[in-house]
Structure 1
Amino acid sequence: MKIAVLGTGGGARAHIARLGGLGHEVHVGTRDPRATLARTEPDMMGTPPFGSWLADHPGIELHTFTEAAERGELVINGIDSHNAVAALSAAAEQLAGKTLIDYAVPFVYNPDIAHPWPTPWGVMPTLDPCDSDSLAEQIQRALPDTKVVKAFVTQEQDTVVDPKAIGGGEHTMFIAGEHADAKRQTTDLLKAYGWSDILDLGPLVAARGMELYAHMHSAIGFALGFGTHFGIKVVR
């Protein structure tokens, strides 16, 4: 299958490499391919420049967001949350009728708030939107002809693409969306990644809880030791 991954950060790279290993034709989208390849410094999370990473992954093609969306039969959104709606809206025609799996968290970095939460990398980002809306719902409203599924967001992406690295894979992945066929397609991809426990939370409004979980996930990670990978299991 031709799969587009929109974004070039560490999470996107996990999907790009795994999809390539599964035999898919992967097209990567970025805002400005020339600028992306010209970067020589790590990003804010310490991720090495994409150009050096790409050199070790032959066969991966880099395009603009719109060009990648056009080529993909299935699209995975890893565009940072502040820019996601605008960038995806610009590719609305290319995304029409397709499944878009969104794993972005609507973080607002360096917030000026009364009671900040200190973390190893600075103040914990706040979430916007939250409670009465979600980034996934905003994307769906902006792209009414696209089938948006919220998934992958409750795990580090390295774990999403290799669930068996944690507890032999005995943990739970959540999905939500309005389109049954798109959720089936997402489930098929998760099974190919190695997931066996996939819990459908229902309509896309459930993305609000999935995105809000980001703070709980961070809190657990700090308690276990920063950088520790872990999974969450829903026990029935």
Structure 2
Amino acid sequence: MKIGVLGTGDVGRRLASRLSGLGHEVTLGSRTADNPVAAAWAREHQGHHETFAGAATHGELVVNATGGLVALAALKAAGTANLDGKIVVDVSNPLDFSQGFPPRLVVPAAGSVAEQLQQAFPRTRIVKTLNTMHNTLMTDPAQVPGPHNVFVCGDDQAARAQVADLLKSFGWADRQILDLGGLAAARCVEPLVLLWISLSGTLRTSDFNFAILR
């Protein structure tokens, strides 16, 4: 599959690398076409690098790995026409580090970043997932032994199912993937990042995840 990944930070490069390793044709997108980080990634992984618009045009599926506070601007730069009808996997968290650490969670008027994006791009199928864990665990769930979960939500059931299949290709088992239904569930999922940050400081590690036991 052709996949566009928006964002050249640790999360974007991690996801792009795993997707490329699985045989997908990946384009890493950034604000400018001459981004040196994206160019270095493309050389290392035999991938492509482009602007946000170029990556969105290339991708049959698009991953938003930009920060939650700039996600709307990034998708606008990607272009409405380039995203129409496509699945956008949103892994962002709306964290504000301007006043230092720990960060502040900024909740958009829509209730969550994912819902904000869906309102702005009604013909795009937004699916929220992978935002409640460290980026190394996103693509290697076996890094944490035992039962733990990844959450998926979105208003389009078929899109959620396709994203679940992508998660399975990363190594997530059926029993680990919790489909929370509609995108309104992102209002609960996005704030979990604050608990994750607090726990990472207490545990002094990022090698952990949330588990729903029943």
**The two structures share one fold, judged by TM-score above 0.5:** yes
For the 8 Å contact 1:110–1:124, the answer to whether it is kept is no
CA distance in 2, matches of 1:87, 1:53: 20
Aligned equivalents of 1:5 and 1:183: distance in 2? 18
SS at match of 1:56: helix
Aligned: 1:19 with 2:52: no
**What CA deviation, in whole Å up to 9, does each residue of 1:108-134 have, x standing for no partner?**
1223xxxxxxxxxx4211111169710
Aligned to 2:95: 107
Alpha-carbon distance in structure 1 between the residues aligned to 2:201 and 2:180: 27
Counterpart in the other structure of 1:92? 80
The 8 Å contact of residues 148 and 211 in structure 2, kept in 1 or not, is answered as yes
Runs of 4 or more, structure 1, over 6 Å off, are none
1:114 matched to which residue of 2?
Answer: none
Give the alignment of 1:133-152 within 5 angstroms: 133-152=111-130
Q: Is residue 11–residue 65 contact of structure 2 (8 Å, CA) maintained in 1?
A: yes
TM-score, normalised via structure 1 length: 0.85
**Aligned position for 1:199:** 178
Q: Are the equivalent residues in 2 in contact too, given 1:105–1:214 (CA < 8 A)? A: yes
Q: Do residues 74 (structure 1) and 51 (structure 2) align?
A: no
Distance 1:124 1:131 in 2: 22
- Is 1:127–1:212's contact at 8 Å kept on the other side of the alignment? yes
Which residues of structure 1 form unaligned runs of 5+?
38-48, 112-121
Residue of structure 2 in register with 1:5 after alignment: 5
Q: By how many angstroms is 1:56 displaced?
A: 2.5
**Structure 1 letter corresponding to 2:177:** I
The 2-side partners of 1:31 and 1:180 are apart by 31
C-alpha RMSD over aligned residues: 1.6
- Return 124-133 or 193-202, whichever deviates more: 124-133
Cα distance in 2 for partners of 1:171, 1:163 equals: 9
1:76-97 CA distance string (max 9 Å, x none): 1011222211221231110000
Query: SS where residue 74 of structure 2 aligns?
Result: helix
> 2:137 maps to what in 1?
159
Contact 1:131 1:208 in 2 (8 A): no
CA contact (8 A) 1:150 1:177 kept: yes
- For the Cα contact (< 8 Å) 2:127–2:154, is it kept in 1? yes
Q: Which of the numbers 178, 197, 208 marks the counterpart of 1:230?
A: 208
Identical amino acids, percent of aligned pairs = 38
> In 2 relative to 1, CA 52–98 (structure 1 residues): closer, same or farther, beyond 3 Å?
closer
Equivalent-residue separation in structure 1 for 2:58 and 2:84 (angstroms): 12
How far off is 1:22 after superposition? 0.6
Shift of 1:188: 0.3
Match of 2:166 in 1: 189
**TM-score if structure 2 supplies the norm length?**
0.93
Q: For 1:26-41, what aligned pairs fall within 5 Å after superposition? A: 26-34=26-34, 36-37=35-36
Q: Per-residue displacement from partner, 1:40-73 (whole Å, max 9, x unpaired)?
A: xxxxxxxxx454444432x110001011101101
Q: What is the Cα deviation at residue 232 of structure 1?
A: 1.6
Residues matched between the structures, number: 211
Counterpart among 177, 184, 197 of residue 154 in structure 2: 177
